[in-house]
């Protein structure tokens, strides 16, 4: 589906470190522990490609992966650590803003939302920032295997209601489980279909 190598390229801490904007890219954003690494690994079929960045205060890098020759997948640092030092949060937000507003080849952001929890305040903040940056974003709900049907439907409805406020939101929500493989092919096809 992605012609060419799928590999880690580099982690960057400043715009100056970014690879040349020579191909389209998609980025993945989400709260810490939302299941972002697991989803990237499921999507690429590489069990250990993305690592969970679960240490509060550790260097916040934007990680670039190649999805074949024609696309980058960009893994944004997980947000929402209660204990993250203020200075680290500020630095990361500044880089995030620069990235979202300054990366011409960014085609779509995928905002990961835990199916158990729905949209939280920090997710709202990211969505607002994406809107302001005029980056089209699409919600991917994660860990769908962890909830019953009633919770699933209720939280899908909660996300849909939250998206109405955001013109940059793509209306279709993707429901996934990295554990069971649900939705992974759908997400892969969506990314492969972006040119």
In the list 26, 29, 32, 92, the residue contacting ligand GDP (rule: CB under 6 A) is: 32
Minimum Å gap between C-beta 160 and ligand GDP is: 21
- CA dist list (Å): 140 to 5, 20, 168: 24, 27, 15
Which of 23/46 has CB closer to ligand GDP?
A: 46
In the list 18, 26, 35, 49, the residue contacting ligand GDP (rule: CB under 6 A) is: 35
User: Is residue 146 a contact residue for ligand GDP (CB under 6 A)?
Assistant: yes
- The 68-97 contact track toward ligand GDP, x by CB under 6 A, reads ----------x-------------------
Which of 22/83 has CB closer to ligand GDP?
A: 83
Are the C-beta atoms of 162 and 26 separated by less than 8 Å?
Answer: no
Site for ligand GDP in 159-178 (CB under 6 A): 177-178
In the list 3, 21, 52, 90, the residue contacting ligand GDP (rule: CB under 6 A) is: 52
Report how far residue 45's alpha carbon sits from residue 102's, in angstroms, rounded to the nearest whole number. 30
User: Is residue 55 a contact residue for ligand GDP (CB under 6 A)?
Assistant: no
Residues near 96 by beta carbon (within 8 Å), at least 6 away in sequence: 76, 129
Residues near 13 by beta carbon (within 8 Å), at least 6 away in sequence: 59, 60, 61, 62, 95
DSSP 8-state class, residue 18 = S
Which of 105/186 has CB closer to ligand GDP?
A: 186
Query: 135 in helix, strand or coil?
Result: coil
Closest to 174 measured CA to CA, from 148, 147, 156, 151: 156
**62-67/6-12 β-pairing:** antiparallel
In the list 38, 44, 66, 138, the residue contacting ligand GDP (rule: CB under 6 A) is: 38
Which residues in this chain contact ligand GDP in the complex, by CB under 6 A?
Answer: 30, 32-38, 52, 54, 78, 142-143, 145-146, 177-179
């Amino acid at each position: 589906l992605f012609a060419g190598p799928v590999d880690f390229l580099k982690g960057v801490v400043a715009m100056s470190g970014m690879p040349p904007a020579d191909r389209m890219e998609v980025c993945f954003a989400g709260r810490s522990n939302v299941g972002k690494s697991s989803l990237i690994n499921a999507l690429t079929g590489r069990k250990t490609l993305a690592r969970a960045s679960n240490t509060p205060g550790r260097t916040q890098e934007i990680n670039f992966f190649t999805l074949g020759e024609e696309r980058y997948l960009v893994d944004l640092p997980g947000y929402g650590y209660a204990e993250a030092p203020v200075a680290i949060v500020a630095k990361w937000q500044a880089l995030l803003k620069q990235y979202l507003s300054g990366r011409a080849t960014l085609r779509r952001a995928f905002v990961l939302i835990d199916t158990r929890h729905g949209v939280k305040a920090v997710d709202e903040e990211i969505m607002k920032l994406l809107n302001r940056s005029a980056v089209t974003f699409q919600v991917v709900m994660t860990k769908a295997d962890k909830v019953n049907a009633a919770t699933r439907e209720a939280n899908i409805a909660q996300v849909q209601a939250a998206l109405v406020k955001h013109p940059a939101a793509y209306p279709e929500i993707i429901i996934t489980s990295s554990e069971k493989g649900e939705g992974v092919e759908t997400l892969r096809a969506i990314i492969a279909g972006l040119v």
